[in-house]
Amino acid sequence: MIVLAVDCMGGDHGPKVTLPACRRFLDRRPDAQLILVGQAEALAGFSHERARVVAASQVVTMDDAVEVALRKKKDSSMRVAIQQVKDGAAQAAVSAGNTGALMAIARYLLKTLDGIDRPAIATQMPNAKGSATTVLDLGANVDCTAEHLLQFAVMGSALVSVLKNDPHPTVGLLNIGEEAIKGSDEIKRAGELLRAAAQAGDLNFMGNVEGNDIYKGTSDLVVCDGFVGNVLLKTSEGLATMIGQFLREEFSRGIFTKLAAIVSYPVLKALKKRMDHRRYNGAALLGLRGLVFKSHGSADALAFEQALARAYDAASHQLLARLQSRIAHAAPLLSSPATTPAP
């Protein structure tokens, strides 16, 4: 039996979206249980034999500063949901709330795994092979050392091994050229560390990749610092939105083009489905002593259900144990010289 704790109040829409998603999720997975966390009155209408409510009186809003979420809202649905994981009542927590607050609370309550300096956020992006490329970090860490990038690579490999059921997913280091001599000193050093980890059997490292390789699907996993990851994710959202807008504008220009739109409807629908970011909803917060998944704040019920499914898959495939075992194996390479105790 897999138990997930759900922050039902988080995100732009709260229970309006989270509760229908929870119901569909429960109906599809007979071995799953949910702990629904939120304000009692907001969750009163929901009942399911495999769901129970844990009350939390406060809600972290999308605009709350991290400090407010952490110090002033100790009974928030977000925090109480993560507490369920800490207490062993749930194997994973899922929230659509404020990313900064979620990361801070998760880090405060669960602590990081041994060997990991900073947790990272990993998500999947669609690729031209019809599969998905996992990218991390996506905004948790703006300045990363080579050791951090190696930690991301090891954690990301554990995640992808669960998501794709492949014990040796390929890893690419995001850079501005394929040659090992490209990039900043820190990136070059990261390349050396990743190669060393590959030789030690910790990673299936294939070398540098470039921005276009994410969508080509050149490697299963792409590692970058959180600044670059956030920019590439937001840039992609912006470009996809613009292309969608151009398509709509061109198809609605006149009577003939509107007819073409009707004739093309099944094609456009299929395209939309392939590009549907809701299918990729559910980013993993990796590096904590517990599993936490982040849904997009604007997720609808379908998207939120995806995030639940991803947390379920991670829990049922023992992602936490896999993370710990991979990190332990790579331990000699993982720590920064500065943080290693003197021999």
Q: Which position has the token pair 């190669």?
A: 195
Among 75, 114, 143, 178, binds a copy of itself (CB under 8 A): 143
CA–CA distance, 36 with 40 (Å, rounded to integer):
10
What tokens appear for 337 in the block? 């010289």
Cβ burial of 147 (10 Å; 0-12, 13-18, 19+) is: buried
Q: Is 167 in the site for a copy of itself (CB under 8 A)?
A: no
Among 40, 44, 200, 271, binds a copy of itself (CB under 8 A): 271
Residue list 87-126, contact with a copy of itself (CB under 8 A): 126
C-alpha torsion angle, residues 237, 242, 244, 245 (rounded to 10): 140
Q: Identity (one letter) of the amino acid at 82?
A: I
Residue list 180-209, contact with a copy of itself (CB under 8 A): 183-185, 187
Tell how far CA 341 is from the center of its chain. 32
Run of H or E residues at 222: strand 221-223
- Min separation Cβ 303 and a copy of itself, Å: 18
- 83 CB neighbour count, 10 Å cutoff: 22
CA–CA distance, 115 with 128 (Å, rounded to integer):
35
What tokens appear for 319 in the block? 């992602």
Within the chain, how many helices (H) and strands (E) appear? 13, 11
- Min separation Cβ 82 and a copy of itself, Å: 23
Which range, of 158-166, 220-228, 292-300, 328-336, touches a copy of itself by CB under 8 A? Answer: 220-228
- Min separation Cβ 38 and a copy of itself, Å: 27
Among 142, 200, 321, 331, binds a copy of itself (CB under 8 A): 142
- Min separation Cβ 256 and a copy of itself, Å: 7
Q: Give the nearer residue to a copy of itself in terms of CB position, either 30 or 212.
A: 212
Binding site for a copy of itself (CB under 8 A): 126-128, 139, 142-143, 174, 176, 183-185, 187, 210-216, 224, 226-228, 230-243, 245-247, 250-251, 253, 256-257, 259-261, 263-264, 266-267, 270-271, 274-275
